[in-house]
A and B are shown apart, each in its own frame.
Chain A
Amino acid sequence: MIEILYFAWVRERIGLPRERVDTRAATVADLVEELKLREARYAAAFADLSALRVAVDQDLTDFDAPLAGVREVAFFPPMTGG
């Protein structure tokens, strides 16, 4: 089981702040493909990966990152702190 978190407009588009997912996806990209097949709102949120950033276990990474042993994956738009 992996905990998936969504922030900002990704959260709004999917309609959830977080969810637990049972997956065998090997990478973040594979997980995204699984999610996109679920429902239109996921497909809409993940339509353009260049508009998204991903963190795995709270570290920024890229969509090629492996998921073995991972507890938490977060998807969000580019950050706007400061």
Chain B
Amino acid sequence: MKVRVQRAPFDFAAEAAAFGGAGAGAVVTFTGIVRDCEGSLQRMEIEHYPGMTERALTRIAEEASARWGLVGGLIIHRYGPLVPGEAIMMVATSAAHRAEAFAAAEYLMDYLKSRAPFWKKEIRSDGEAWVSARDADEQALTRW
């Protein structure tokens, strides 16, 4: 399982190709993109807690790997300024069968949302605000 926290953009297609999946029967990938629903988002600033971020992501990744017997796994999460349309993060999982690969990817996403120390601030044409955590994201953890 690989974990990368970086400021620089990543190339999803190249990462997915390099991830491969040898020995696995299924590969699942997910990418999160900066969206602009209201049409006023200029950029998003992502802050994180260096040290704890890598530690939290590694723990989440190891848990997923053990639980679903993954062949491989990858988490890339960016920080710093991002504009609408840019990829924020990606996860990839590989397993013998698709059920495990899908479940592990969803688990990684659910835990990334509320257990990895990232905070998003939206800078809009009419002001800026920190993105609030959603109750639904915290609730999502109870299914695991």
B98 beta carbon closer than 8 Å to chain A: no
B114 beta carbon closer than 8 Å to chain A: yes
| Contacting residue for B117 out of A7, A9, A11, A82, CB 8 A | A7
Chain A residue numbers with a CB within 8 Å of B144 are: none
Could you count the A-B residue pairs with CB atoms below 8 Å apart for me: how many are there?
70
Whether A81 contacts B116 by the Cβ 8 Å rule is yes
Please tell me which stretch of A19-27, A29-37, A39-47, A70-78 contacts chain B, meaning at least 4 of its Cβ atoms lie within 8 angstroms of it: A70-78
Chain B residue numbers with a CB within 8 Å of A50 are: none
A68 beta carbon closer than 8 Å to chain B: no
B109 beta carbon closer than 8 Å to chain A: yes
Whether B115 contacts A58 by the Cβ 8 Å rule is no
A8-B119, A76-B117 in contact; A81/B49 too (CB < 8 A)? no
**Interface residue tally for chain B (C-beta within 8 Å):** 26
A58-B49, A58-B51, A58-B55 in contact; A82/B112 too (CB < 8 A)? yes
Q: Per DSSP, are chain B's interface residues mostly helix, strand or loop, or mixed?
A: mixed
Chain A residue numbers with a CB within 8 Å of B77 are: 81
A16 beta carbon closer than 8 Å to chain B: no
A55 beta carbon closer than 8 Å to chain B: yes
B124 beta carbon closer than 8 Å to chain A: no
A60 beta carbon closer than 8 Å to chain B: yes
Chain B residue numbers with a CB within 8 Å of A77 are: 119, 130, 132-133
Residues on B close to A: CB < 8 A? 32, 47, 49, 51-52, 55-56, 77, 88-89, 109, 112-121, 130-133, 138
Q: 16 A-B Cβ contacts within 8 A?
A: A8-B119, A58-B52, A60-B115, A76-B117, A77-B133, A78-B114, A78-B133, A79-B114, A79-B118, A80-B132, A81-B77, A81-B89, A81-B118, A82-B89, A82-B112, A82-B116
